[in-house]
Amino acid sequence: MIGGNDRRANSLEARDVATILHPYTNPVVHEADGPLVLARGDGIHVIDSEGNRYVEALAGLFCASLGFSESRLVEAAHRQMQALPFYHSFGGRSHEPAIELSERLIAMAPVPMSKVFFANSGSEANDTAIKLVWYYHNAIGKPRKKKIISRQRAYHGVTVASASLTGLPYTHKAFDLPLAGILHTDCPSLYHHGLPGETEEQFATRCAQSLEALILGEDPDTIGAFFAEPLMASGGCIVPPATYYEKIQAVLRRYDILLIADEVICGFGRLGTLFGSEAFGLKPDMISMAKQLSAGYQPISALMVNETIYGAVREQGGAIGTFGHGFTYSGHPVATAVALETLRIYEERDILGHVRAVAPVMQAALDGLAGHPLVGDKRGMGLIGALEITSDKATKTPFDPALGVAAKVGKFAQARGVITRAMGDMIHLCPPLIITADEIRDVVAKIGGALDDTLSWLERGN
């Protein structure tokens, strides 16, 4: 750590503290401790400015699927920078990388899709989906059908509208969110919300009944859409119970409510399927994606819409004279070129097959930590997982947040050479998709060591 009194006046750390407002960072703590400054990447590792090497066990932010030194992506960006470094897609302009990427995405979609809209982040893609829900219902003569349902613990972004969808308190507090008309239904976590003796299917039935009660209470003619991550990642790696989506989709069909699948984290192999929707039998009307679309090497996101949505948008845009939405960098040629090369690598190297081979190793290794005194629950699927830290396993009682126990686990893991992410009471693990079985075992062993370090810290009276 770099304390305030020890930080060199002209160091990178001091310059960072003096000039940067960091996302999802406690500014008071940051001023005291300073940043971890990264200098370069090597496979699944990153190296800091002092030469220390770490396994990046969260793939950056759930996105660096091919690690941090994939030369083919660098070369793809360089070639495109030389050919056409920028152009926009306003007014019908286009270029080959955007056209080819759109074709590939529609061909890969888990359900039939018609068009692709490009943006720069998952938040922007989900914001676009929200606007299209409203635009679509205006177009089809149902202007009251505008409310949107998300879920507690959901994570859909941080723009004003997408942060409203996000069901985590720290994205709402002091921001005056959520916006009116954004509603939240139950989180499908059996661990947190299941009743004593309740089976997965019984819990799923209760979640669906609760959703239907919310819809009826609000008036079905005012509900336009339901947003869902197939697996809820940032909210604690919540794997939905058996039959959950089957029952939820039946309710949505009953009341003519659109389904938007947020594949920002689950898409492109994370769960052992190309899209998370395939793993859970989702049939969405729109699909948002980002992160692993370009392996994190370029900022890019996309929203796919089905023919029903596009048809209404076409008619409405034709009547108005334009489709009045877009971003300067939508379909940026360098970003789309890198995304195309990323998809080629996934296919050529059978990354999906690799995930299916090593995912059982990771889940079994994490299962081995479930008996640790600090671990209340282990959850996961594919190459994503989380450990929930509790002070009492039997009662599922969390530690006092002021103690920062999960954050302490993260710090001890970093000291052992593993970067992960502590969010609330959770330690998340979401490594690059190229990680090997031996590397997984090493990472999980070091997290186990960090849990032991934290337990000793607690026992010393801290």
308 and 289 in a common domain: yes
Looking at 348, 377, 393, the residue that finishes a domain is 348
Please indicate, yes or no, if residue 423 is contained in any of the structural domains: yes
Q: Dihedral of the CA atoms 307, 308, 309, 315 (nearest 10)?
A: 100
- Say whether pLDDT at 262 is over 50: yes
213 and 104 in a common domain: yes
297 and 195 in a common domain: yes
- Say whether pLDDT at 4 is over 80: no
Overall domain count for the chain: 2
290 and 157 in a common domain: yes
127 and 262 in a common domain: yes
Query: What integer is the mean pLDDT of 88-100?
Result: 97
What pLDDT was estimated at residue 373? 96
What pLDDT was estimated at residue 2? 40
- Which residue matches tokens 């502590």? 422
For 432-449, write each residue's pLDDT tens digit: 999 999 999 999 999 999
43 and 130 in a common domain: no
**Domain CATH number, residue 87:** 3.40.640.10
Please indicate, yes or no, if residue 30 is contained in any of the structural domains: no
What 3-state class would DSSP assign to 375? Answer: strand
What pLDDT was estimated at residue 5? 47
Both structure tokens of 96:
């080959």
- Say whether pLDDT at 92 is over 50: yes
Looking at 307, 332, 348, the residue that finishes a domain is 348
Query: What integer is the mean pLDDT of 164-185?
Result: 95
- Which residue matches tokens 């079985």? 437
- Say whether pLDDT at 6 is over 80: no
Name the band, by pLDDT with cuts 50, 70 and 90, for residue 424: confident
- Domain span holding position 141: 73-348
Name the band, by pLDDT with cuts 50, 70 and 90, for residue 10: confident
Alpha-carbon distances, residue 168 vs 69, 180, 280, 309 (angstroms)? 33, 16, 23, 29
Query: What integer is the mean pLDDT of 42-54?
Result: 97
Instruction: Find all residues with CB under 8 Å of 392, minimum gap 6, and list them.
Output: 376
CA distance 149 to 234: 18
389 and 284 in a common domain: no
304 and 233 in a common domain: yes
For 274-294, write each residue's pLDDT tens digit: 999 999 999 999 999 999 999
Return the closest-CA partner of residue 423 out of 294, 238, 187, 186.
Answer: 238
Both structure tokens of 268:
């492109």
Please indicate, yes or no, if residue 11 is contained in any of the structural domains: no
338 and 210 in a common domain: yes
Return the closest-CA partner of residue 131 out of 280, 291, 286.
Answer: 286
User: Amino acid identity, residue 96?
Assistant: E
- Say whether pLDDT at 3 is over 60: no
Are 165 and 150 in contact by the 8 Å Cβ rule? The answer is yes
Looking at 348, 367, 386, the residue that finishes a domain is 348
Both structure tokens of 126:
């989900």
Please indicate, yes or no, if residue 110 is contained in any of the structural domains: yes
Instruction: Find all residues with CB under 8 Å of 166, minimum gap 6, and list them.
Output: 150, 154, 155, 156, 157, 158, 172
DSSP 8-state class, residue 90: G
In the predicted model, what is the mean pLDDT of the chain? 96
Please indicate, yes or no, if residue 17 is contained in any of the structural domains: no
Please indicate, yes or no, if residue 314 is contained in any of the structural domains: yes
132 and 92 in a common domain: yes
Concatenated DSSP letters of 274-338: SSHHHHHT---SEEEE-GGGTTTSS--EEEEE-HHHHHHHHHHHHHHTS-----TTTT-HHHHHH
DSSP 8-state class, residue 111: S
- Say whether pLDDT at 313 is over 90: yes
**Distance between start and end Cα atoms, the chain:** 18
Query: What integer is the mean pLDDT of 82-107?
Result: 98
Give me the residues paired with residue 228 across strands.
261
Please indicate, yes or no, if residue 19 is contained in any of the structural domains: no
119 and 49 in a common domain: no
216 and 104 in a common domain: yes
Please indicate, yes or no, if residue 28 is contained in any of the structural domains: no
- Which residue matches tokens 């039997």? 394
**Domain CATH number, residue 449:** 3.90.1150.10
